[in-house]
Amino acid sequence: MPRKKIGFIAAGTETAQQALTELRARYGHVPPEEAELIVALGGDGFMLRTLHRFMSRQVPVFGMHRGSVGFLMNEYHPDALEERLENARPVRLHPLHMTARTLAGETIEALAINEVSLLRETRQTAKLRIRIDGIVRLDELICDGVLVATPAGSTAYNLSAHGPIIPMGAPILALTPISPFRPRRWRGALLPHTAHIEFEILESSKRPVSSVADFTEVRDVSHVQVREDREVALNLLFDPEHNLEERILKEQFLT
């Protein structure tokens, strides 16, 4: 089998840059734009930026942990890298597509691998109306915010907001409130991945809300729509003993 062209990229930290120099010297290197496979060195934040950067190419990405958080990364070992890449198991992800309309009438679209979150901008709580597939399911949610998370993002902000962990491959999205005030006992919902979710911001001038899709923030929104984008596929590679499905399962039993 012909050797794949590998492109190495790294976060700006000293640890990641040292690993980058070592791996390029040992295994060669092609520019990332020409690579058939990307090796990303850093933490989860750098992995998200890498996936966004190469989203249009849908090139497989193998991450190695040289950062602070490494849930999406494999362990760093410089030896036998080509064998690891050959034996790595793929995980296919689909991002969320956010369409946000502002009070000024502007429409902004963005993709999110982890989650789309709505957050209050001022001291006053947000008031939101939630529609699922065109049906009002919650007429008024008073809260600090709310988010929609993918399975890959369910262990990130979603988990911190007491949302459920979703196994990889499950055709489900998590809808999770952030510090809900009314209805106080509402803890969110699990939705089919085909759901079209719409948030209407009530009293939007008095209670401004921002919408965030990974790295894209839109201020002063009036309506936000979220759906899974099945036309975009992201391919992560994991060592067989370090696969993402197993780590998500383990996360649910941590004490």
CA distances from 45 to 22, 63, 133 (A): 22, 11, 32
Question: Could you tell me if 13 and 123 lie in one domain?
Answer: no
Q: What residues are labeled active site? A: 44
Report if residue 209 sits inside a domain.
yes
pLDDT (tens digit per residue) in 26-44: 999 899 999 999 999 999 8
Strand pairing category for 61-65 and 234-238: parallel
Report if residue 242 sits inside a domain.
yes
Distance of CA 175 to the CA centre of its chain: 14
Report if residue 1 sits inside a domain.
no
pLDDT at 1: 42
Question: Could you tell me if 202 and 239 lie in one domain?
Answer: no
CA separation for the pair 144, 127 (Å, rounded): 9
pLDDT at 244: 66
Burial of 103 (0-12, 13-18, 19+ CB in 10 A): middle
pLDDT (tens digit per residue) in 119-150: 999 999 999 999 999 999 999 999 999 999 99
Range of the domain at 109: 96-228
Report if residue 65 sits inside a domain.
yes
pLDDT (tens digit per residue) in 185-241: 899 999 999 999 999 999 999 999 999 999 999 999 999 999 999 999 999 999 987
Number of domains in the chain: 2
pLDDT at 72: 84
CA dihedral sign, ordered 173, 178, 180, 184? positive
The CATH number of whichever domain residue 186 belongs to comes to 2.60.200.30
CA separation for the pair 236, 243 (Å, rounded): 10
Question: Could you tell me if 87 and 101 lie in one domain?
Answer: no
Question: Could you tell me if 214 and 174 lie in one domain?
Answer: yes
* pTM, to two decimals: 0.87
The CATH number of whichever domain residue 47 belongs to comes to 3.40.50.10330
Question: Could you tell me if 11 and 37 lie in one domain?
Answer: yes
Please state, for a pLDDT cut of 90, what percent of the chain lies above it: 79
Question: Could you tell me if 131 and 222 lie in one domain?
Answer: yes
Question: Could you tell me if 169 and 217 lie in one domain?
Answer: yes
pLDDT at 255: 61
Question: Could you tell me if 137 and 47 lie in one domain?
Answer: no
Question: Could you tell me if 176 and 207 lie in one domain?
Answer: yes
